[in-house]
């Protein structure tokens, strides 16, 4: 089945100015294809959340697709009391933990189930670094690779906290809720994870918000796969 994508650049789309709730209303009214706008708008965050739990990129994309299918299927349950991204992230985390349980021994995995319901608090937006000159961009690209390798080398429990707190920008309480941890445990694991990362990245830790990007061909692949199943 061939699926025509709406717009690969959400920022330039005529729908860019619409709030998530407005787009959801249109989807509920029958404009199913507009679900693509929501996917492109939230792909980066969903990727980072799932990548915090899973190592294999193929598993990450599979989980992202299933999370979007679940979100679309249960879109009638979203009542807009909180941000759509909050609701979507809970679904993505649920799928990611379910996939990790299939991969790892049950006793080594924290079992957490999320209801397909809304959290009443929004998540903190990711901070975007200013645009750099070409030389700086090349340097940052190399640094990004170092950061990603260092994060991948972290123990699972530390990596999840580090990804959600320092790369995705969630608060301590939001991270704790997502991972089933108390705030002190989150703080302790984050402190230790940062110490490990510093040994690999040293003084460049302030640029980590640019790591684990999800765009271009990979973004298109996930969007097209989901649209093929729902449109």
φ, ψ of residue 138 in degrees (nearest 5)? -65, -40
Top-level class of domain 10-122+214-230:
mainly alpha
pLDDT at residue number 96: 92
- Where is pLDDT greater, at 35 or 140? 35
Tens digit of pLDDT for each residue in 162-183? 988 988 888 898 888 888 899 9
Over residues 61-87, the mean pLDDT reads 91
pLDDT at residue number 66: 96
CA dist., res. 39 & res. 23, Å (int): 11
Sorting pLDDT into bands at 50, 70 and 90, what band is 110? very low
Over residues 101-115, the mean pLDDT reads 51
CA dist., res. 135 & res. 127, Å (int): 22
Highest mean pLDDT among 108-117, 121-130, 203-212: 203-212
Q: Please determine, for residue 148, whether its predicted confidence score (pLDDT) is greater than 70.
A: yes
Lowest mean pLDDT among 71-75, 104-108, 152-156, 201-205: 104-108
Tens digit of pLDDT for each residue in 114-125? 344 444 333 223
- Where is pLDDT greater, at 208 or 117? 208
- Where is pLDDT greater, at 132 or 85? 85
For domain 134-210, which CATH number applies: 3.20.20.100, 2.70.50.30, 1.10.8.60, 1.10.10.10? 1.10.10.10
The CA-atom distances, in angstroms, between 151 and each of 55, 92, 100, 228 are 10, 20, 18, 33
Sorting pLDDT into bands at 50, 70 and 90, what band is 133? low
pLDDT at residue number 5: 53
Residue 71: CB partners within 8 Å, gap ≥ 6?
87, 88, 91
Sorting pLDDT into bands at 50, 70 and 90, what band is 6? low
Write a three-state SS string for 92-133: HHHHHHHHHHHHCCHHHCCCCCCCCCCCCCCCCCCCCCCCCC
Q: Please determine, for residue 14, whether its predicted confidence score (pLDDT) is greater than 80.
A: no
Sorting pLDDT into bands at 50, 70 and 90, what band is 230? confident
The domain locations on the chain are 10-122+214-230, 134-210
pLDDT at residue number 103: 78
- Where is pLDDT greater, at 173 or 210? 173
CA dist., res. 110 & res. 96, Å (int): 12
pTM above 0.75, yes or no: no
């Amino acid at each position: 089945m061939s699926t025509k994508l709406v717009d690969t650049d959400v920022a330039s789309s005529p729908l860019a100015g619409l709030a998530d709730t407005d787009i959801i209303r249109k989807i509920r009214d029958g404009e199913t294809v507009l679900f693509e706008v929501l996917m492109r708008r939230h792909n980066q965050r969903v990727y980072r959340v799932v990548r915090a739990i899973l190592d294999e990129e193929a598993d990450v994309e599979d989980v992202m697709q299933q999370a979007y299918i679940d979100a679309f299927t249960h879109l009638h349950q979203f009542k807009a009391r909180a941000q759509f991204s909050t609701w979507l992230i809970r679904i993505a985390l649920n799928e990611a933990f379910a996939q990790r349980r299939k991969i790892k021994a049950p006793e080594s995995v924290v079992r957490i189930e999320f209801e397909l319901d809304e959290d009443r608090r929004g998540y903190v937006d990711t901070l975007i670094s200013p645009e750099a000159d070409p030389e700086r961009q090349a340097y940052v690209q190399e640094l990004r690779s170092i950061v990603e390798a260092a994060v991948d080398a972290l123990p699972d429990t530390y990596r999840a906290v580090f990804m959600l707190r320092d790369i995705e920008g969630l608060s301590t309480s939001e991270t704790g809720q997502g991972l089933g941890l108390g705030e002190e445990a989150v703080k302790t694991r984050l402190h230790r994870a940062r110490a490990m990362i510093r040994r690999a990245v040293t003084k460049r830790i302030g640029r980590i918000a640019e790591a684990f990007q999800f765009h271009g061909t990979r973004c298109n692949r996930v969007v097209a796969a989901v649209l093929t199943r729902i449109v």
